[in-house]
Amino acid sequence: MKEIIKLDEKDKKIIKELEINARQSDSQIAKKVGLSKQVVNYRIQNLLKRGIIKEFYTAVNTGKFGIDSYYLFLQLKNISGKQERELVEKINSLDYIGWSVDGIGRWDAIILIYAASAAEFNHRLEEISSICGNYLHEYSFTTLINAEYLGYGVIEKSNSTHFKHTEKTSPLEIEELDKKLLLIMSQNARIPLVDIAQKLNTSVQVVNYRLKRLIKKDIIEGFKPRIDIHKIGFQWHLILMQFKGLDDNNKKRIFSFCENHKNIYYVSSIIGRYNLMMDIHVETIEEFRETIFELKETFPDLIKTIELFNVFEEHKINYFPVNLQ
């Protein structure tokens, strides 16, 4: 059994500031949490060393580039734990995979695939099916319409930690230098401007201007820490739901419920086998059960079916649309 690491209040305050904007300097965070710059730096490095923070990523709104996002649900058969880990690693190495988790439930793994068209998605689905080979028992997929990141429940949630992924729009024109900038920052959101400038062979002033412009255009939605919540004593559950009579007004009700619930980390509106996917973080199974009851009691006439998926591990987050690299 893995050792549970308990965060103290100072670490929680630092994580909250990183949630709001992971590009804040150690000095900026220090002023807000009442610690010295040196102590803040030490604590952040310690959180990274212990694997509580896995990385700092840049949240890019892929819909702005005319990119579709698909959730692919995989059920495997006749496979050992070692073989499954190797298979998942192969899939995660594909550069069009934006997110990946494994776990237990109706499915064994859920991955997010970027594609510019239905034909491209079909080609990528065929490639993943080929990688799985005889281990693949069944699969299903949904198209992501929009989603909202609501923040980790391990800290006090606030609207300043939210970001959204909007539905596919007409592609924005983006210069090659901006593409390279996004690629550098996609999974290294705290990289200093001077280091980015060196990699791009340009000035710090140019990098700073382009970064601010990408934020202003809502191409970059935020800079976030990826936290291993299992290490700090939390469980991660996905709720996959089908609804009946899901109009725009009811969608707003559901999203409002999620925004105001301390345990709900992420919510996705999708089309296909399911209508909605919720990410829930809880400390106990009783707390998770209570969340399910709240959903059923709040939306008794809307919910058609609920499927549960217990996340074992999150393998990847990369919001940079591969088609632009």
SS (H, E, C) 234-278: CEEEEEEEEECCCCHHHHHHHHHHHHCCCCEEEEEEEEECCCEEE
**What is the structure's pLDDT at 171?**
73
3-class DSSP state for residue 164?
Answer: strand
What fold characterizes domain 1-50?
Answer: Arc Repressor Mutant, subunit A (1.10.10)
Does this chain's domain 63-153+228-324 share its CATH topology with 173-216?
A: no
> What residue ranges do the domains of the chain occupy?
1-50, 63-153+228-324, 173-216
**What is the structure's pLDDT at 168?**
67
**In this structure, what token pair is assigned to residue 252?**
């707003």
Pair 101, 72: CB distance under 8 Å: no
As a CATH number, domain 173-216 is 1.10.10.10
Strand 220-227 versus strand 136-149 pairing type: unpaired
**What is the structure's pLDDT at 151?**
85
Helix then strand then coil, % of the chain, to nearest 5: 40, 30, 30
**What is the structure's pLDDT at 323?**
61
pLDDT below 70 — which residues of the chain? 1-2, 154, 156-170, 321-325
Q: What is the Cα–Cα distance from 187 to 196, expressed in whole angstroms?
A: 13
**What is the structure's pLDDT at 224?**
94
**What is the structure's pLDDT at 67?**
87
As a CATH number, domain 63-153+228-324 is 3.30.70.100
